[in-house]
Structure 1
Amino acid sequence: MIEVEGLSKRYGPVTAVDDLTFDVAPGSVTGFLGPNGAGKTTTMRMILGLDAPSAGQARVLGSPFADLAAPMRAVGALLDAGAVHPQRTARDHLRCLASSNRLSPRRVDEVLDLVGLTAVAHRRAGAFSLGMSQRLGLAAALLGDPEVLLLDEPVNGLDPEGIVWIRTLMRQLAAEGRTVLVSSHLMAEMALTADRLIVVARGRLIADTTVEAFARPDGVLVRTPDARTFAGTLVAYGASAVRHGEQDGEELIVTGVTAPEVGRLAAAEGIVLHELTPRRASLEAAFMALTRESVEFEAAR
């Protein structure tokens, strides 16, 4: 469990985080979303005790991070994959972390295997690609087999296989009852990975909800061999119906009515339906609509 209560961080006249309150519960992947400059990384740093809040507090497993008796066994974090001495090998980097946290040396080889770096464990970290550095950062985060994970842009630099792997791993860890908070700018990936979303803009909370609820309904998809007739019926009912296709089984995109209303109307009119599916806006579209006024840097159009 992560608890954030009234958390604020000011740098002179600039407020990076503004009275932020939310909880991250175990058993699900929680996506932490927001435009650049929204305060996501600053919030994660305060949760981890790396930055002192100007006001409020953050607790992990019921305590401030600094009060945890065995931090790496409680919390695993990936904030900066490049924070590794470039002359150390991957194995030596993890051995140093394990030794400083009284972790078994055997765990080093376990996490190297888990993240797919066993074959390059002898190589210096300074020679790693961005994707390999991300995997090493994830290995460090997982070293203590922690109950809580905070991951800042964990798929950055990973190839498609790596993205699928980290997605599967995060969902597996959450299914084991762990708390997983992950920030990302990849909306399509968050739609596949996260169960819940915390969305911030200009340091303030603007949404704390499920992925399903965040991507609001965007009409109804109707597939029927009687599309032309049914479209007229729907329009007469007060809905909007846009046709797609020119043969049997063509589609209607219907707005202005709910899926149950469409179904009842089709039954009353004797219309055969092959499909009746509520459509949802993409996570990306919903995110862009919600944060449009809070984007700090916007390109010309």
Structure 2
Amino acid sequence: MIQLNGLTKRYGEHAAVDDLTFTVRPGLVTGFLGPNGAGKSTTMRMILGLDLPTSGSATVMGRPYRELRHPLHTIGSLLDASAVHPNRSAYKHLLFLAQTNGIPDTRVREVLDLVGLADAADRRAGRFSLGMGQRLGIAAALLGDPPVLLLDEPVNGLDPEGVRWARTLMRGWAAEGRTVLVSSHLMSEMAMTADRLVVVGKGRLLAEGDIADFTGSDQLVVVRTPDAGSFARRLELSGARVDPGLSGELLVTGMTAPDVGRLAAAENVTLHELSTRGPSLEETFMELTRDAVEYGAAR
């Protein structure tokens, strides 16, 4: 578990993080979202003890990071995958981390295999592609088999197969009861990966909740039927609003998909499609953060 209580970081008059309070619970993937300059990286650095807060606190499993005797056994992190000596092999990089945290050498080979770098273990990290560097960073986060994982843009540079692999990995960790906090600018990927979201802007908490809280409202019911005209009138008589779609479908609001299906069955209407559409996570995110963007393009 990660807990933030009134966490604040000021640089002079500027508040990079302003009174943040939230909890990242085990068993879930929590997405940490915000525009550039929102304070996400500063928050993560304070969780890891790399920056000291001006006020407030951040704890991991009930303790500040600096009080963790062997940190990699408690929290694994990926902030900057390029922070590796370029002339050091992947194996040696992980071995040195393992030795400083009392982790057996055999674990190094295990995590290299887990992230798909077993065949590149003896290659110098400076020759790695961006995606391979990300995999090495994830391997370092997993070294101590920690119950808490904190990842900043973990899929940056990964190809589609790698992105899917990382998504499966994160969801698997959460399914094991681990605490997973992950930041990303890829809204479509967060929509498929995260169970909960924390959204910040200009250092302040803007919203938090289950992923459905951000995408599950204002649902449209999409109906395709060869009896579109007559069924549209029947839907309207039942209190729904019906608008025509661009491809001949009916866009229904004011009635749930199950209710539309029951009405179709009662009226012996053949349905070729019955589905729902809601606002995308990207649309909800843009609306939430429109006044918290540090550098916005001209409109």
Alignment match, 2:64: 64
Q: Do structure 1's residue 222 and structure 2's residue 220 form an aligned pair? A: no
The answer as to whether partners of 1:235 and 1:241 remain within 8 angstroms in 2 is: no
User: Matches of 1:130 and 1:64 in 2, distance apart?
Assistant: 32
Higher deviation after alignment, 199-208 or 275-284:
275-284
SS at 1:272 equivalent: coil
CA pair 104-256 structure 1, distance change in 2 beyond 3 A: same
User: Matches of 2:244 and 2:213 in 1, distance apart?
Assistant: 25
Alignment of 1:87-236 (within 5 A): 87-215=87-215, 216-235=217-236
Q: Deviations over 1:152-196 (max 9, x none)?
A: 000001111111111111111111110000000001111111111
1:241 aligned partner, one-letter code? D
Q: Deviations over 1:110-157 (max 9, x none)?
A: 111111111111111112111111111111111111110000000001
Q: Do structure 1's residue 239 and structure 2's residue 241 form an aligned pair? A: yes
The answer as to whether partners of 2:223 and 2:275 remain within 8 angstroms in 1 is: yes
The answer as to whether partners of 1:184 and 1:190 remain within 8 angstroms in 2 is: yes
The answer as to whether partners of 2:81 and 2:134 remain within 8 angstroms in 1 is: yes
2:35 aligned partner, one-letter code? P
SS at 2:291 equivalent: helix
Higher deviation after alignment, 289-298 or 215-224:
215-224
Q: Could you tell me which of 282, 293, 296 is aligned with 1:295?
A: 293
The answer as to whether partners of 2:20 and 2:204 remain within 8 angstroms in 1 is: yes
| Structure 1 runs not aligned, ≥5 long | none
The answer as to whether partners of 1:130 and 1:158 remain within 8 angstroms in 2 is: yes
Higher deviation after alignment, 185-194 or 288-297:
288-297
The answer as to whether partners of 1:220 and 1:254 remain within 8 angstroms in 2 is: yes
User: Matches of 1:20 and 1:88 in 2, distance apart?
Assistant: 38
1:259 CA displacement: 3.9
Alignment match, 1:14: 14
SS at 1:231 equivalent: helix
The answer as to whether partners of 2:30 and 2:195 remain within 8 angstroms in 1 is: yes
Alignment match, 1:282: 280
1:97 CA displacement: 0.5
1:80 CA displacement: 0.5
User: Matches of 2:282 and 2:84 in 1, distance apart?
Assistant: 33
1:222 CA displacement: 2.1
User: Matches of 2:82 and 2:106 in 1, distance apart?
Assistant: 24
The total of aligned residue pairs comes to: 296
Could you list the runs of 4 or more consecutive aligned residues of structure 1 that deviate by over 3 angstroms after TM superposition? 232-238, 243-246, 256-268, 275-278
1:18 aligned partner, one-letter code? D
1:219 CA displacement: 1.6
1:87 CA displacement: 1.4
User: Matches of 2:166 and 2:50 in 1, distance apart?
Assistant: 25
SS at 1:17 equivalent: strand
Alignment of 1:44-55 (within 5 A): 44-55=44-55
The answer as to whether partners of 1:225 and 1:273 remain within 8 angstroms in 2 is: yes
Alignment match, 1:272: 269
Alignment match, 2:252: 254
The answer as to whether partners of 2:240 and 2:252 remain within 8 angstroms in 1 is: no
SS at 1:7 equivalent: strand
Higher deviation after alignment, 46-55 or 232-241:
232-241
Q: Deviations over 1:194-223 (max 9, x none)?
A: 111111111111111111121133321123
2:223 aligned partner, one-letter code? V
Alignment match, 2:29: 29
1:219 aligned partner, one-letter code? L
The answer as to whether partners of 2:58 and 2:64 remain within 8 angstroms in 1 is: yes
User: Matches of 1:265 and 1:161 in 2, distance apart?
Assistant: 42
